[in-house]
Structure 1
Amino acid sequence: MKDDLKIEVCSCTKINKQNIEYVKENMLSEKTFMKLSELFKILGDYTRIKIIYSLSKKELCVCDISEVVQMSQSAISHQLRILKAARLVKFRREGKSVYYSLDDEHIDRLFNAGLEHVEHN
């Protein structure tokens, strides 16, 4: 096994009760863990990440997103429904057109934090 993939295991058997209590006292609720898990599941899709990136650059209609991502409008609409249900994107109507954008600045920060992490050496 390569050294950089090896898991280091602690050989001590004494626990640090103070650290354990601190973490337990500050633990998130089960509901919050579930919501966060669902968010990352939704973000774990290649196409949805491309859509989020596109919308981080510019408000776009389904036709525009379809062209950028190189997928059918129906496939994009399906992904947008998932993103909208998760409150990751929002839309606005202008005449016959519907424009999508990121729901708020948190989504952009979350995406950019992930991007910074994967681009970090």
Structure 2
Amino acid sequence: MLPDTTILQLVETFKILGDATRIKILCILAQQEMCVCDIAETLAMGQSAISHQLRVLRSARLVKYRREGKAAWYSLDDDHVVDLMKRGLEHVSHT
């Protein structure tokens, strides 16, 4: 059996992944690094809404960012995020 703290971390990760906008952001970032303004434009959403979602994803260590001047460029935190998404897609595509 897993420790309770590990189970709670996994529960929180799945809660965070249970949001369509966050999944869309992760799919976009799986293709390339992007700034908030470009993510917002791609999803036809406001920059503040995207920034909020990115903060949630950062707190779960699913995305990371780097500063370039005043702009923040976001990318997936590591290959585990891609693997997690691929496994989820395989599961929902399985008939």
| CA drift at 1:97 | 1.8
Report the AA paired with residue 50 of structure 2: I
Larger Rg: 1
Aligned residues between the structures: 95
In the alignment, is residue 39 of structure 1 matched against residue 17 of structure 2?
no
Report the AA paired with residue 78 of structure 1: H
Larger relative contact order (C-alpha < 8 A, sep ≥ 6)? 2
Q: Structure 2: 5+ residue runs without aligned partners?
A: none
| CA drift at 1:95 | 2.1
Q: Distance in 1 between matches of 2:87 and 2:42?
A: 23
Identical positions, percent: 61
Q: Distance in 2 between matches of 1:120 and 1:70?
A: 31
TM-score normalised by L of structure 2: 0.95
Partner of 1:4: none
Runs of 4+ in 1 over 3 A off after TM superposition: none
TM-score normalised by L of structure 1: 0.75
Partner of 1:3: none
Q: Which has the higher helix share?
A: 2
RMSD of aligned Cα (Å): 0.9
SS at match of 2:53: helix
Q: Structure 1: 5+ residue runs without aligned partners?
A: 1-26
